[in-house]
Structure 1
């Protein structure tokens, strides 16, 4: 499928339980709120906790949410190994990568490996395959919260409001967080704080 020059193709990658689908919805709703055309699929993979989850979104496009990996513009990864696995499939092109600084060692059989690679090796491979790499500091973000519920996906969403190509204002972001996550009165304040804090913990490597 030929890509419109104004189309922005985004891949969301991570594990079940990380809020990948909610993050994709927040971006989609924000784009719709600003009058952009949006096409996305809610899930591809295994949504149970710990399973691989992918979601794909296209801005300024209505025909199909799917696109060739070589056409991806922005990769948003909430787990390092899942992000690298997707990047390995991209040929002749380096996308911009926004990565949560999170790494989970899993069963080597899942990847067909004898030994799981060291985190430093994975970091190096990701850097080599990214045109630009932005890291979200999960440890310092986590320190801003007292409880066990840490909404990293909302923090990442906040950080994404600083990326001009997405065109999400802080006002729009706040409105979307309230719209999608404000019904749970027990968590709404935590999500509100996560949105306020998130943009502080993203940096270009």
Structure 2
């Protein structure tokens, strides 16, 4: 937490639950007495377009995370993480789902999507100190549904020693945001993500 502020950059594609993820973190932080600022950046708003949100928790002047100042990059999709690296510095914690959603822009132009295992992960690990790739899709399916991917990533986020919110803070905020019938599955998803990083 630099200068009393914890900065999180969250990125992925439309339909992955990124906005909901940011709301849960924001609510959990406010419940702990922190000030929170959030800005949303939607690319193409249809499913499959780039979506990112920036959260600043604590003492901040603006809602935008300055370049190289993110404490955490939380990525739902590998190439979106690569796109967001201008927010990261050597010590930024980078937690991301390794399963690609190939954007229509790549499939239409015939460009090649880089190999996550052979290119993206090794490059990130070479350039950054704190890289945590995880198969979020599998962990979400193990919890009961691919739709719980955002909760897997939230759980993974709370496994970070320097993160200012606990797993229980996140679970409480999740319960305030989702229908009771989904609570059990989402708690399992949070646990799965937490254990994958721990």
What TM-score, normalized by structure 2, do the two folds share? 0.84
Q: Which residue of 1 aligns with 2:192?
A: 197
How many angstroms apart in 2 are the aligned matches of 1:77 and 1:111? 23
Partner of 1:5: 3
CA pair 110-90 structure 1, distance change in 2 beyond 3 A: farther
Residue in structure 2 matched with residue 81 of structure 1 by the alignment? 79
With over 3 angstroms needed to count, the CA separation of the structure-2 counterparts of 1:37 and 1:131, relative to structure 1, is same
Structure 1 residue aligned with 2:174: 177
TM-score (norm 1): 0.81
8 A Cα contact 1:40 1:64, kept in partner: no
Shift of residue 110 of structure 1?
Answer: 8.3
Q: Tell me how far 1:143 sits from its aligned partner.
A: 4.5
Partner residue of 1:96 out of 93, 98, 121:
93
Alpha-carbon distance in structure 1 between the residues aligned to 2:28 and 2:19: 14
Q: Provide Cα deviations, 1:99-139, integer angstroms capped at 9, x if missing partner.
A: 11221223455898843323322222322332211123325
Answer yes or no: is 1:115 the counterpart of 2:112.
yes
Alpha-carbon distance in 2 for matches of 1:52, 1:112: 17
The aligned residue for residue 105 of structure 1 is 102
Judging changes above 3 Å, is the alpha-carbon distance between structure 1 residues 35 and 122 closer, same or farther for their aligned structure 2 residues?
Answer: same
**Which structure features the higher share of helix residues?**
2
State the aligned residue count: 197
